[in-house]
């Protein structure tokens, strides 16, 4: 793992009227690092992640990508989002497009790849995850686990430098969680830089380089999985007692 910072938040704040969802959060994601963001429901995890992708415009603070501030140019944010991909809880596949069309649309429309290049890469990804036979299927014909793996592949098709995952397995039936986690593990092992919001604490402790615990919109502790599990912080102890 390199210590080169790719993505950084400095003193990030996000308000929704009177509610401060993210409260003065500073965070750095290094090249090749896998960071899991954990904490109780309502702690600001997903809002923070959405701010990193500029799906939520921060109220205050800075987001930097390779040291350059990105949240001052929100009107032309698509090039940034192409490099910082997002995988959502509920897949967000286009229902009227086939699996192949879902994967190839963005790289072709953005000019990243020609149609033939995009199709070749898409079939490579589908073969890798064992879904080559589903290339012409529509999302409604897929299981939840298949949809989420296609959503991850769609994000990877843009050749991102960073992938952000917002509770990628929480909408899945328990038997489908493993196949998505396997793909995420392969991406992490391959050096993909990843930040993951999750309630799957066991999985997080297995593959995380670092874990971040959030509560009341703030980062309480950041460290290795072992450091968080063995933390003396009372709030973290209470959380782990309930989820482990």
| Residue located via tokens 């998505």 | 180
Cβ atoms of residues 129 and 185 within 8 Å: no
Rounded to the nearest 5 degrees, what angle is found at the Cα of 219, between the Cα atoms of 218 and 224? 165
Give one word for 67, left, alpha or beta, with left for phi > 0 and alpha for psi -120 to 50.
left
Cβ atoms of residues 98 and 132 within 8 Å: no
The DSSP bridge pattern shows strands 218-223 and 68-69 to be unpaired
Instruction: Please say if the pLDDT value at position 2 is more than 60.
Output: no
- Sign of the Cα torsion 60, 50, 3, 38 reads positive
What are 191-238's pLDDT values in tens digits? 999 999 999 999 999 999 999 999 999 999 999 999 998 999 999 999
Cβ atoms of residues 144 and 125 within 8 Å: no
CA distance 9 to 149: 28
Tokens describing residue 154: 């769609």
Give pTM, 2 decimals.
0.93
Instruction: Please say if the pLDDT value at position 112 is more than 70.
Output: yes
Residue 242 has a pLDDT of 84
CA distance 94 to 42: 28
3-state secondary structure of 195: strand
- Split at pLDDT 50, 70, 90, the class of 244 is confident
Find the mean pLDDT for residues 167-171.
90
3-state secondary structure of 93: coil
| Residue located via tokens 């400095």 | 10
Residue 158 has a pLDDT of 96
User: How far is the CA of 34 from the CAs of 17, 56, 208, 211, in angstroms?
Assistant: 33, 22, 5, 9
Tokens describing residue 223: 């460290």
């Amino acid at each position: 793992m390199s210590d080169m910072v790719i993505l950084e938040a400095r003193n990030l704040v996000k308000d929704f009227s009177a509610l401060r969802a993210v409260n003065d959060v500073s965070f750095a994601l290094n090249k090749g690092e896998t960071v899991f963001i954990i904490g109780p429901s309502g702690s600001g995890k997903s809002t923070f992640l959405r701010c990193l992708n500029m799906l939520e415009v921060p109220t205050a603070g800075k987001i930097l990508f390779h040291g350059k501030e990105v949240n001052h140019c929100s009107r032309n944010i698509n090039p940034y989002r192409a490099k910082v991909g997002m995988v959502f809880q509920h897949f967000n596949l286009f229902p009227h497009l086939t699996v192949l069309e879902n994967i190839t649309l963005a790289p072709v429309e953005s000019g990243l790849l020609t149609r033939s290049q995009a199709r070749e890469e898409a079939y490579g990804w589908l073969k890798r995850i064992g879904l080559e036979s589903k290339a012409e299927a529509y999302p409604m014909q897929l299981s939840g686990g298949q949809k989420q793996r296609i959503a991850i592949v769609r994000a990877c098709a843009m050749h991102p430098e960073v992938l952000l995952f917002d509770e990628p397995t929480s909408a899945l039936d328990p038997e489908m969680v493993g196949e998505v986690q396997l793909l995420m593990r392969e991406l992490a092992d391959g050096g993909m830089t990843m930040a993951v919001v999750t309630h799957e604490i066991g999985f997080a402790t297995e593959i995380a380089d670092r874990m971040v615990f959030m509560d009341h919109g703030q980062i309480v502790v950041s460290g290795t999985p072992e450091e968080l599990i063995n933390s003396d912080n009372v709030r973290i102890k209470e959380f782990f007692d309930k989820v482990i």
